[in-house]
Chains A and B, each alone.
Chain A
Amino acid sequence: MTTQTFPRMVAAGLAGCLAAGLAHRGYATLQSVGRHRGFTRHRVRCTSGNILNYHVREGLPGAPAIVLEAGLMSTSASWLLLADHLDPGLTVLIYDRAGYRASLRRCPEDYSLQESVDDLAQVIRDGVGEDTPVVLAGHSLGGYLVHRTAAMMPDRVRGVVLIDPTHPRELLHSRAQREGSRNVNLTMKLGPWSVVFGAGLLIDKKGLFAFAEGSPYYKTLRYEASTSSTWRAARREWDYSYAFMLDGGRPLDKLTVPVSVIAAEATVERTPEHRDLYEEYVASGTGGDIVTVPGSSHLSLIGGVDHVPATARAVTEALDAALSIKDPA
């Protein structure tokens, strides 16, 4: 053995880890830009400059459409399991916000939530026929975004379904949420750079995605956590949302359609004060209810094989209730 043996072995080991990490990132990126089976892919250039991909599963002619908006660090893939449990006669539109998967962020301005709201409105105008009744559903941050979008499009949207939604005042309202969000802040601060160097391979994804075990989309969700684009987009949205929510956000818009909330049992048990915020959401519309899915967590509501059937049933009931109200127009 020479004196150089150990340093050489260490250097080779570290280089091997870096190469494995970068290869993993590259493979994950390739895996995460593909099409979704059963959906047709479309592309729209928004007035913000962003070029977004959306995916449509056509239902029966004249059937209503449901547009699904994902939460922070989630993409259209997060809705695939739920879409499988929705009535196939329904038109389902899922999309990727700017920066996620193959959607490109080309807006020259600093990011704000209004940019995502405007983009979603354009996706709806581009992807859903003018005479088709539309119901918007959103998970987590996506819930707040669809609520704002519904306020912008009172002539198009017939109902809103919020699945464990983010509320703009939740950090002021709940100390537990505030303290928990500090952990997220650290993760978001370090995530984008770590993933650039292939550290996505070091993330304990088995624990992180335990909620999705058994799902046919389990691997897709895991790959997305290793792509740079997911982390960069999430960081951009988090930086804005965190400051926005710490400052108290802004009051909820008043909607002229029903607003229903589907809550995770874990959320309302761990932070009972969250229920006040969900009630405020329901009160912002003209009807609706709060349904809690037993045994569910924030992520298992739309990604867990045990809980998605119940979520899909609640979504369908909320959608039917919203569509049964005669169009005021």
Chain B
Amino acid sequence: MKTASVLNKAIPAVFAAWFVATVISQHPDRSYDKARGLDRTGTGILIPNWRFFAPNPAVEDQHFLYRLASEDKTRHSEWREVYQIVPRKMIHAFWFPGRRIEKAVFDAASTLVNNPGAMTPLHQKARESTYRLINDFVRGRLTPDPEFPLFQVMLVRYSGFDHSEDPKYDLVFDYERVRP
């Protein structure tokens, strides 16, 4: 009877402690992972990871801005939008082929901004190709100016509907020639 009574309390206590350790190990920033040190297996499997979309669920549009620059990079044009995000209408729930460009831009941007610390050859190759792809995309759409032979791209996140919110600057690219 005594053993049963101890078990009755110990088992839920162990599971509760495990659950609490799991909950406090879900901070989106991995610097707060101290509690994961409780998992002594070294595999990280004892404390589940629930950060499916964290820390950045897709609630914003990705925009590419560009600016033109002089040869010595001391003079710049203002930042300009490469293309406008199309305001959504009800019909877009059924038919919206224009969405493909936005989706492609979003996917390309994700390659650059997600997991920036990954430095494997595969990640580096993927990022190199994406930089080239986006630069070519912008090069084909920018309005050239003979005074500015270079351009530079910036990736910005913006909600697209809430104009009180400031855009979030994500990444600037290396300078590229307008005419390679």
Residue A60 at the B interface, CB < 8 A?
Answer: no
Contacts of B172 in A (CB 8 A): 171-172, 178, 246
Contact A10 B19 (CB under 8 A): yes
- Cα(A297)–Cα(B51), bound, Å: 31
- Cα(A251)–Cα(B117), bound, Å: 29
Interface residues of A in 1-39 (CB under 8 A from B): 1, 5-6, 9-10, 12-14, 17
Contact A17 B20 (CB under 8 A): yes
**Interface segment out of the listed A147-155, A186-194, A253-261:** A186-194
Contact A10 B169 (CB under 8 A): no
Contact B169 A246 (CB under 8 A): yes
Residue B136 at the A interface, CB < 8 A?
Answer: no
Contacts of A329 in B (CB 8 A): none
Interface string of A226-254 (1 = CB under 8 A from B): 00000000000000001100101001000
Residue A70 at the B interface, CB < 8 A?
Answer: no
Contact A1 B32 (CB under 8 A): no
Residue A179 at the B interface, CB < 8 A?
Answer: yes
- Which chain B residue has the least Cβ–Cβ distance from A9? B16
- Which chain A residue has the least Cβ–Cβ distance from B7? A1
- Which chain B residue has the least Cβ–Cβ distance from A207? B31
Interface residues of B in 10-56 (CB under 8 A from A): 11-13, 15-17, 19-20, 23-24, 27-29, 31-35, 37, 55
Contact A1 B117 (CB under 8 A): no
Residue A131 at the B interface, CB < 8 A?
Answer: no
Q: Which of A1, A5, A202 contacts B24 (CB 8 A)?
A: A202
Contact B20 A187 (CB under 8 A): no
Interface string of A52-74 (1 = CB under 8 A from B): 00000000000000000000000
7 A-B contact pairs sorted by A residue (CB < 8 Å)? A6-B12, A10-B19, A14-B24, A180-B117, A182-B170, A186-B28, A246-B172
Contacts of B169 in A (CB 8 A): 242-243, 246
Residue B144 at the A interface, CB < 8 A?
Answer: no
Contact B16 A199 (CB under 8 A): no
- Cα(A172)–Cα(B169), bound, Å: 13
Contact A203 B34 (CB under 8 A): yes
Q: A9-B13, A190-B27, A204-B31 are in contact. Are A1 and B171 (CB under 8 A)?
A: no
Q: 6 closest Cβ contacts across the A-B interface?
A: A9-B16, A13-B20, A202-B32, A1-B8, A179-B116, A6-B12
Contact A180 B19 (CB under 8 A): no
Residue A175 at the B interface, CB < 8 A?
Answer: yes
Residue B174 at the A interface, CB < 8 A?
Answer: yes
- Cα(A201)–Cα(B34), bound, Å: 8
Contact B23 A202 (CB under 8 A): no
- Cα(A12)–Cα(B32), bound, Å: 21
Given contacts A13-B20, A17-B24, A175-B174, 6 further A-B contacts (CB under 8 A): A6-B15, A12-B16, A14-B23, A202-B27, A203-B31, A204-B34
- Which chain A residue has the least Cβ–Cβ distance from B118? A179
- Cα(A130)–Cα(B59), bound, Å: 56
- Which chain B residue has the least Cβ–Cβ distance from A12? B16
Residue B9 at the A interface, CB < 8 A?
Answer: yes
Q: A9-B16, A190-B28 are in contact. Are A183 and B117 (CB under 8 A)?
A: yes
Contact A194 B32 (CB under 8 A): yes
Contact A199 B12 (CB under 8 A): no
Shortest Cβ distance from residue B173 to the other chain A in the assembled complex, whole angstroms: 8
Contacts of B34 in A (CB 8 A): 201-205
- Which chain B residue has the least Cβ–Cβ distance from A191? B29
- Cα(A172)–Cα(B19), bound, Å: 45
Residue B85 at the A interface, CB < 8 A?
Answer: no
Contact A9 B12 (CB under 8 A): yes
- Cα(A308)–Cα(B113), bound, Å: 35
Contact B170 A13 (CB under 8 A): no
- Cα(A246)–Cα(B171), bound, Å: 7
Interface string of A274-312 (1 = CB under 8 A from B): 000000000000000000000000000000000000000
Contacts of B170 in A (CB 8 A): 182
Shortest Cβ distance from residue A291 to the other chain B in the assembled complex, whole angstroms: 28
Shortest Cβ distance from residue A86 to the other chain B in the assembled complex, whole angstroms: 32
Shortest Cβ distance from residue A185 to the other chain B in the assembled complex, whole angstroms: 8
